[in-house]
Amino acid sequence: MKSNLLLSLTVLALTFPAASGLAADKHAGHGAAEKKATTPADAEIIAKARASYPLKTCLVSDEPLGSMGEAAGYVYRAAGQPDRVIFVCCEGCIDDFKAEPAKFLKKIDAAKAKSAPAK
């Protein structure tokens, strides 16, 4: 009986760190991400957009916004398109966003569509 309990506790103790490590994989290399400089104009745009942002999770990692400190805001600009503000859990996720912006912008558009009042 004691050996079963001891075995169960050992398995649990070894499993928990491994499971928590899997969640951190999405942020591999992000811990050292340098805070990006923001212009005063962009800072104002980001501040205004924060209250009406449709997602409560990081656009890239799906971690809760604020889980790694204040959510990082970024103004995405593309020629011929309106500027878009995105929020991610950490500065490192901004680089991941820049690699595939269309993929991540679809997530914002879907969230906005869900929260829009029915006509």
Query: Is 16 part of any domain?
Result: no
Question: For residue 76, what is the enclosing H or E element?
Answer: strand 72-76
Domain presence at residue 82:
yes
Examine residue 106 and state whether it is found in any structural domain, yes or no.
yes
Structural domain harbouring 101: 32-115
pLDDT for the residue 117:
74
CA distance 41 to 56: 24
Question: What would you report as the CA-atom Rg of the chain, rounded to the nearest whole angstrom?
Answer: 19
85 falls within a domain? yes
Per the CB < 8 A criterion, the answer to whether 35 and 68 are in contact is: no
Instruction: From first to last of the 119 residues of the chain, give the pLDDT tens digit.
Output: 566 555 555 555 555 444 444 445 556 655 555 566 679 999 999 999 999 999 999 999 999 999 999 999 999 999 999 999 999 999 999 999 999 999 999 999 999 999 877 66
Domain count, the chain: 1
pLDDT at 91: 92
CB atoms within 10 A of CB 97: 20
